[in-house]
Amino acid sequence: MRKTSSDSGLDEPVFLDQMKCAPVLAKFAVPRNFRLLEELERGEKGIGDGTVSYGMDDGDDIYMRSWTGTIIGPLNTVHEGRIYQLKLFCDKDYPEKPPSVRFHSRINMTCVNPDTGVVDPKKFLVLGNWQRDYTMEYVLTHLKKEMATSHNRRLVQPPEGTSF
């Protein structure tokens, strides 16, 4: 059966079986590597005000597993002006499962293990309540927001430039 442009509001004829396929296609998830390529492109363009960035550690890693993130601490906190380096690792289950996130730069935050720099998913709910549509950008921007929360904004910090 065929619908005309007057029936569908489209300029071209539309076949009903084509219309039935569209909702089915929308249910399929973007493959992991395509998703990571999109994230890489976005990370290379820069994010928002430039206080959060990320990129791949090794351009030759065809599995796109290891990433480095940077957060410049938020204004009006003990983190202001500090530059924090993080490592993000996307295993084969990303984005179905969250990346593992570890601060390379020493930081004192309630959601970060003080000995290893690992961000604890039980204490940082972006990782703990992970959803497939979250991205590394989302993780980094929310870590920056977490730095500005009342329980983190005034915590005494290790000397600048030290690392785990």
Residue 16 domain-assigned (yes or no):
no
Residue 108 domain-assigned (yes or no):
yes
Residue 106 domain-assigned (yes or no):
yes
Residue 109 domain-assigned (yes or no):
yes
Distances (CA, A) of 74 to 39, 84, 142: 23, 11, 11
Q: What is the largest CA-CA distance in the chain?
A: 72
Supply the pLDDT for residue 45. 79
CATH at residue 41: 3.10.110.10
Question: How much is the mean pLDDT over the chain?
Answer: 87
The residue range of the domain holding 137 is 32-147
Residue 107 domain-assigned (yes or no):
yes
Cα–Cα nearest to 57, from 99, 98, 96, 29: 99
Residue 21 domain-assigned (yes or no):
no
Residue 155 domain-assigned (yes or no):
no
What phi and psi, each to the nearest 5 degrees, are found at residue 135? -130, 175
pTM value surpassing 0.85? no
Say which residues have a Cβ less than 8 Å from residue 157's Cβ, sequence separation at least 6. 78, 79, 82, 106, 107, 108
Supply the pLDDT for residue 44. 81
Structural domain count, the chain: 1
> Averaged over 9-28, what is the pLDDT?
47
